[in-house]
Chain A
Amino acid sequence: MGPVLAGVLQLLALIAALALAYRPLGTYMAKVYSADQHWRVEKWIYKGIGANPDTEMRWPAYLRGVLAFSAVGVLFLYLLQRLQGVLPGSLGFSSIDADQAFNTAASFVTNTNWQSYYGEQAMGHVVQVGGLAVQNFVSAAVGMAVAVALVRGFALPHSRLLPHSRLRSSGGTPMSGGTPIRSGELGNFWSDMVRGVTRILLPLAFVAAIVLVACGAIQNFSGIHEVGQFMGGSQQWNGGAVASTEAIKEVGTNGGGIFNANSAHPFENPTPFTNLFEIFLLLVIPFALTRTFGVMVGSVKQGYAILATMATIWLGFTALMMWTEFAHHGPAFEIAGGAMEGKENRFGVGASSIFAVATTLTSTGAVDSFHSSFTGLGGGITMLGMQLGEIAPGGVGSGLYGMLIMAIIAVFIAGLMVGRTPEYLGKKIGTREIKFAACYILITPALVLVLTAAAMALPTPGNSMTNSGAHGFSEILYAYTSASNNNGSAFAGLNADTQWFNSTLGIAMLLGRFLPMVFVLALAGSLAEQKPVPATAGTLRTEKPLFTGLLVGAILIITGLTYFPSLALGPLAEGLAS
């Protein structure tokens, strides 16, 4: 069997595994966010928080919860790194400098996991496990909570699968004395966030961690220790809670590795099977959330249409990536006879291509091979994947809400074509809604393009480049694309541990995560206040393949128009020259 066929078979196996998990996991997550009962553990947690999980929140309250919890997270993680030098259990590692500590705190709280440090030499057990890995869980749970809030905005008040107390408060006839009662409520942030951790992420991560250890990922709390070598002498090894971190790093689409080499490191990703398993883990929740969405809005077909859009883009990108990597154009690869620079033998070109596309089309950013050494066009595909807004299937939660925003844009465009007020899932997309959606899609391109331009125009940031010419520009474009879209992968030749990059990338991550959330929740609130309009003969059937085609087209055209000039200067110039 040739490597191309093996690559295709691995892709098919992955699709089969995702398809098997889709219905049970998607339906289960819908139940998680709709159940009345709290688990006993959750009741203890709510007691600890001091919050009533049954209080319904309108969008401003929900947003305040998101922002307060995340702000505390940034501060806590910052202090933990700044104090590492005096914390026990830190292997005697020194404290992290202020600019890098800010960058890393912003990075992990925003689900980005951009790393301007080398994991094995900088972060001790306490920061890795008690700080960074905790944010792997909670930042993912926050993303899912915001997505669920938006889905409730569409679902209310007509769906039957509603979270606690909603049926009593606003189901059926929401009108009383001429004014709607308790409309515009989106659920309880604390309850959604905690359930995401206890009922979805923890169980999945636990099972995944055990599987990874069984295959060879390490899991211990050893210090730095000496191990003998074949040729004599010894080498120094890091210990670490690698498997437990690796599991949530993929399940929560985080991507921050214990080791610098990330999922290329054999202790994080020891075998060809774990590689495919990790790709599965980072895709499974984002894809299954489309089913959760379908169940919660009362039409699984609507979920399938969104799923089809995501799957079309994902498969198209994967096919393109395999084609360009197997073709290995570029001077060094043509001399070498293959694009194996930065790729591990146990994975090969095929599986590395699948991983690279999956990690950049989600907000993961973990890597099993180094994107900077991909072919020129391959590097461009990873960048374009992020620039789509990471919606195919995207990060946990953020992929779904990003895609629903694009769906709103698509029905709006369709509405313009036929001269009709657009509606989606029974809600009218009026001026207010389209303004929120438009603001959402403007944020990340503005961050990426303005900051890249600033870095290129200033005299010193360019000194961080390893490669010259088009690829040097790509390193910087990639960095801001990755940070603003909360991906976290890198063209890692860029020395990003400078005050300029630590600060500006940190700011890009925070704005790229939380400003969009503001508009998503505002939109959710606005939708939740609307009474649904009945579908008529003129309603665009958003569960049909025609709509999927329209949505794919809208996504590619909008992103293409936004980023084409910058991509032409970087990866396209490099790819076409070779």
Chain B
Amino acid sequence: MKNTVINTARLFGAGLRALLVLTLVTGVLYPLVVTGFAQALFNDKANGSEIKDHTGRVVGSSLIGQSYNLPLKEGQETPEPDLKWFQGRPQNGLGTNSVNTQYKLILSGATNRSADNADLIDWVKAAKAAVVKDNSTADHKVKPSEVPADAVTSSGSGLDPDISPAYADLQVHRVAEQNGLSADQVQKLVDDHTESRTLGFIGEPRVNVLELNIALKGLLAKG
């Protein structure tokens, strides 16, 4: 009996020591060495791929999607999109932090609604109607069938930095009209910022909305 107790204690002691030694190796040395290499070799990327506008001000990360809304008016609960700028995807899955509220963190996430969920059906319908209305100009009418799926659905992270080339093209006439530019000028911007599949087959073609809007802002500033 006494031997059993001693042996058990010895075994747990070995387990604890193994955990501590391996914590030192995999929980201290490994992340520090990786961080050292990362900061030395890929400093910009390791710190979040920050991106500046034409004035040199940091306006976010090229990897993280933002919203391009007008400021909230009195009594308004959901902000309206600022139609001067290209719009990203809906972000219905994003949240704000519920614990450690000394911070104002963005909680990444999806809506997790199923295809037959009533909320999701309403959101998609409303988004589709809004995309058609917002993007139809005097001489360019958008048809509901032209609206691509990514324009009316929220992404997995809620922070999708990209839209499909189809959704970017759809916004060209509106953005041109709102900014007093020609549709050709804006279309050229979109084409310059359309990234095709990596090596021709990996992932999907896409347009980075923040980079596109920065370029648009630069174009407007040049006059």
Does any Cβ of B come within 8 Å of A197's Cβ?
yes
A372-B114, A574-B116 known; A342 vs B154 contact (CB < 8 Å): yes
Whether A218 and B47, one on each chain, are in contact in the complex, defined by CB atoms closer than 8 angstroms, is yes
Distance in Å: Cβ of A473 to nearest Cβ of chain B: 11
Does any Cβ of B come within 8 Å of A533's Cβ?
no
Distance in Å: Cβ of B141 to nearest Cβ of chain A: 18
* Contact with A332, one of B42, B99, B120 (Cβ below 8 angstroms): B120
State in angstroms the CA–CA spacing of A261 and B161 once bound together.
14
Q: Map CB proximity to B onto A10-53 as digits: 1 under 8 Å, 0 otherwise.
A: 10010000000000000000000000000000000100111100
Q: Map CB proximity to B onto A509-534 as digits: 1 under 8 Å, 0 otherwise.
A: 00000000000000000000000000
Distance in Å: Cβ of B153 to nearest Cβ of chain A: 4
Q: Which of B15-23, B132-140, B173-181 contacts A (4 or more CB under 8 A)?
A: B15-23
Q: How large is the interface on B (under 10, 10 to 19, 20 to 34, 35 or more residues)?
A: 35 or more
Q: Map CB proximity to A onto B79-120 as digits: 1 under 8 Å, 0 otherwise.
A: 000100100010001010111101111111111111111001
A122-B100, A336-B153 known; A466 vs B113 contact (CB < 8 Å): yes
- Report how many residues on chain A are interfacial, defined by Cβ distance under 8 Å: 129
Residues of B within 8 A of A245 (CB): 31
Whether B48 and A237, one on each chain, are in contact in the complex, defined by CB atoms closer than 8 angstroms, is yes
Residues of B within 8 A of A122 (CB): 99-100
A213-B46, A235-B60 known; A9 vs B201 contact (CB < 8 Å): yes
Whether B60 and A227, one on each chain, are in contact in the complex, defined by CB atoms closer than 8 angstroms, is yes
Q: Which of A126-134, A383-391, A542-550 contacts B (4 or more CB under 8 A)?
A: A126-134
Distance in Å: Cβ of B33 to nearest Cβ of chain A: 7
State in angstroms the CA–CA spacing of A336 and B8 once bound together.
61
Residues of B within 8 A of A13 (CB): 201-202
State in angstroms the CA–CA spacing of A214 and B112 once bound together.
31
A197-B22, A238-B105 known; 16 other A-B pairs, CB under 8 Å? A49-B17, A72-B16, A120-B106, A120-B108, A121-B98, A202-B26, A206-B34, A214-B41, A216-B49, A229-B60, A273-B203, A343-B156, A344-B162, A376-B114, A376-B116, A492-B110
What are 29 of the A-B contact pairs (CB < 8 Å)?
A: A3-B204, A71-B15, A72-B19, A73-B15, A118-B97, A122-B100, A129-B28, A130-B27, A213-B42, A216-B63, A218-B48, A230-B53, A230-B210, A231-B69, A245-B31, A259-B157, A261-B159, A332-B115, A341-B111, A343-B153, A344-B156, A344-B157, A346-B162, A369-B110, A369-B156, A370-B156, A373-B113, A376-B115, A493-B113
Q: Which residues of A contact B (CB under 8 A)?
A: 1, 3, 5-6, 9-10, 13, 45, 48-51, 64-65, 68-69, 71-73, 76, 91-94, 118, 120-122, 129-131, 133-134, 137-138, 190, 193-194, 197-198, 202, 205-206, 209-210, 213-222, 224, 227-231, 235-239, 241, 243-245, 247-248, 259-261, 264-267, 270-273, 275-276, 328-333, 335-348, 350-352, 367-370, 372-373, 375-376, 379, 466-469, 471, 474, 491-493, 574, 577-578
